[in-house]
Every structure is written in structure tokens, then in C-alpha cells.
């Protein structure tokens, strides 16, 4: 049996969100990004939700799933790592749209700027583990 660790939530239904990424097309079983920047995250996609020293709230979930998907595409070298800030800004915008106070969303954004690079780095792709 093969599996990956580090997931806390699983998406129940497919959803799409417009991103600022244009001219990039890629995807796999659970994610796709089209050339117009539409990111589709399919039902069954797993995420660790909001990361770091934070509280998982409803105002954070849509942004966290989107952000995790974008960082996964960066780890897979689909989206250039140098465009990471666009994903961080999109997370902030989505959290505010979903009702998070702007101050908290800004703290989240700066927390990612300070400590989020490793999560998007292609060298840190999630390891495939095996059980007997």
C-alpha cells in the first residue's frame, strides 16, 4: 500500500476559482489549471487546511484549499516558484471575501511571506510512503 501523510481535510465536491495565473496549463487527478487561470479542485482532493499557528475557521477553508492546490502545483513545477506571492495574495483576498477580518488575513499573508516558501519549493514534494 502506498500513501502520503500530512492531510487533514478532504474536499467533498468539486469547485473552481479564478486565479491570477495566465498562460499556464497543467493538472492531474485532482487539480487542473487552465490557460485563463481557472483552477479546478476535484472532489476527493486532500488538504491540511490552514497551516501554522492558526485556527481553522470557515472563513479560512476555501482560501486554504485553493492555496494548498497552488502550492502543490508549484512543488510539481507547473507554476513557477517565483510566482508564489500571487498565491499568498489570493489566499488573503479569498479569506476577506469569505468574512475574515482584514487584520487577520493580513497576518496570514505576512506569515506566509515569512515562513511559507518551503511548502511551495519543488524540492519538498510530499514523499510517497509504504506500509506492508
Each residue's pLDDT tens digit in the chain (132 positions)?
988 888 899 999 999 999 999 999 998 889 999 999 999 999 999 999 998 788 899 999 999 999 999 999 999 999 999 999 999 999 999 999 999 999 999 999 999 999 999 999 999 888 888 998
Please tell me the predicted confidence (pLDDT) of residue 125: 84
Q: d(Cα 94, Cα 62) in Å, to the nearest integer?
A: 7
Q: What is the pLDDT of residue 53?
A: 82
C-alpha cell at 43: 472532489
- pTM to 2 decimal places: 0.92
3-state DSSP helix/strand/coil % of the chain, to nearest 5? 40, 15, 40
Cα–Cα nearest to 45, from 87, 81, 16, 77: 16
Non-local CB neighbours of 53 within 8 Å, separated by 6+ positions: none
Distance of CA 44 to the CA centre of its chain: 15
pLDDT (0 to 100) of residue 51? 84
Q: Which three cell numbers stand for residue 4?
A: 502520503
* pLDDT for 121: 93
Amino acid at each position: 500500500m502506498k500513501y502520503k501523510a500530512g492531510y487533514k481535510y478532504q474536499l467533498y465536491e468539486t469547485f473552481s476559482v479564478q486565479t491570477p495565473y495566465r498562460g499556464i496549463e497543467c493538472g492531474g487527478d485532482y487539480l487542473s489549471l487552465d490557460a485563463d487561470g481557472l483552477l479546478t479542485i476535484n472532489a476527493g482532493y486532500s488538504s491540511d487546511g490552514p497551516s501554522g499557528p492558526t485556527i481553522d475557521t470557515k472563513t479560512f477553508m476555501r482560501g486554504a484549499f485553493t492555496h494548498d492546490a497552488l502550492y502543490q502545483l508549484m512543488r510539481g513545477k507547473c507554476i513557477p516558484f517565483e510566482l508564489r506571492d500571487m498565491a499568498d495574495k489570493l489566499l488573503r483576498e479569498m479569506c476577506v471575501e469569505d468574512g475574515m477580518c482584514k487584520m487577520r488575513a493580513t497576518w496570514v499573508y505576512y506569515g506566509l511571506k515569512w515562513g511559507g516558501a518551503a511548502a511551495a519549493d519543488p524540492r519538498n514534494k510530499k514523499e510517497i510512503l509504504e506500509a506492508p
